[in-house]
Amino acid sequence: MRKIEKLYEGKAKILYSTEEPGKLIQYFKDDATAFNARKKGTIKEKGILNNKISSRLFELLENEGIKTHFIERVSDRDMLVKRVEIIPIEVVIRNVAAGSLSQRMGIDEGANLKDTILEFYYKSDRLGDPMINEYHIKAFSLATEREIEFIKVMALKINRFLLRYFDNKGIRLIDFKLEFGRYDGEVLLADEITPDGCRLWDKESGERMDKDRFRRDMGKIEEAYLEVYERIMGVQ
Ligand code: UDP
């Protein structure tokens, strides 16, 4: 499948049209941003690793009955996906306190939560992705009530699967972000699942294996992404 036209360039990916109107190529860049793009950099080979990691996780989720936009990985940095209409909501699932939750609630990072937390953010770079709730979603017609119910069920199902999956790889899934899109009357999991949008901590050492290493200038960023990739692929 050939790339025809650049449709959209985001912070970490570029979307291209293809010969088929219902299919796009999602190209993974090495660019990394944090703090609403105030911090910029590159992580060498991140695009390649993220494409492979996300492709694998989408395949596994499809096997669990979760519908995604993933069709196939077509090269190192290219993923063929269904052309969805992105729902402008970021869904964050949290199993352990970290990041903005720790700041907002004044609790230590790593503190256990009694229950899983699901949060919604309005996807808007201009506004810095403000946190919203279901009333905002309804009042601003960001998604229908049915879509929101479906998204919540799917996000929690994805969390249950990924928690167990990463645990088997010696990784604690602290939190992660999901995006969904509309396609042919259905809602599909879209975007990506990579260490850019997940907090992954080594079970034994507690070492961070995700974008926090870039956000917080912790070094060994490339190594951390490679380690996640290798554990997912079962390479020792
Ligand atoms: N996240 C993301 N994109 C965003 C905001 C958050 O992928 O625009 C992910 C982030 O990597 C983490 C989770 O969502 O795994 C929760 O992020 P948090 O709200 O703690 O924000 P942060 O501390 O990253 O600003």
pLDDT tens per residue, range 88-135? 999 999 999 999 999 999 999 999 999 999 999 999 999 999 999 999
Mean pLDDT on 59-84? 98
What average pLDDT does the chain have?
97
Distance 126 CA to ligand 1 centre (A): 16
Cite the beta strand spans of the chain per DSSP E.
6-9, 13-17, 23-28, 31-34, 39-42, 70-73, 78-82, 85-86, 89-96, 112-122, 131-132, 171-183, 186-190, 198-202
Q: Hey, which CATH number is domain 6-82, 3.30.200.20, 3.40.50.1970, 3.40.50.920, 2.40.160.210?
A: 3.30.200.20
DSSP result, 10-41: -SSEEEEE-SSTTEEEEEEPSEEEETTTTEEE
What pLDDT digit, counting tens, does each position of 168-218 carry?
999 999 999 999 999 999 999 999 999 999 999 999 999 999 999 999 999
| Residue 72 scores a pLDDT above 60 | yes
Q: Tokens representing 222? A: 């490339």
CA 92 to ligand 1 centroid distance, Å: 7
d(CA 198, CA 183): 25
Asked if pLDDT for residue 219 goes beyond 80, the answer is yes
Mean pLDDT computed over 131-146: 98
Angle at 100 between CA 119 and CA 231, to 5 degrees: 85
Residue 236 confidence (pLDDT) above 60: no
* Domain residue ranges in the chain: 6-82, 85-233
Q: Which of 33, 89, 100, 191 to mutate to test the pocket of ligand 1 (most atoms within 8 A of CB)?
A: 100
Residue 235: pLDDT over 80: no
State the architecture of 85-233 in CATH terms. 2-Layer Sandwich (3.30)
| % of the chain with per-residue pLDDT over 90 | 98
| Mean pLDDT in residue range 142-150 | 98
Top mutation candidate among 122, 177, 196, 213 for ligand 1, by most atoms within 8 Å of CB? 177
Structure tokens at 102: 């720790």
Q: What percentage of the chain carries pLDDT values higher than 70? A: 99
Residue owning the nearest CA to atom 2 of ligand 1: 197
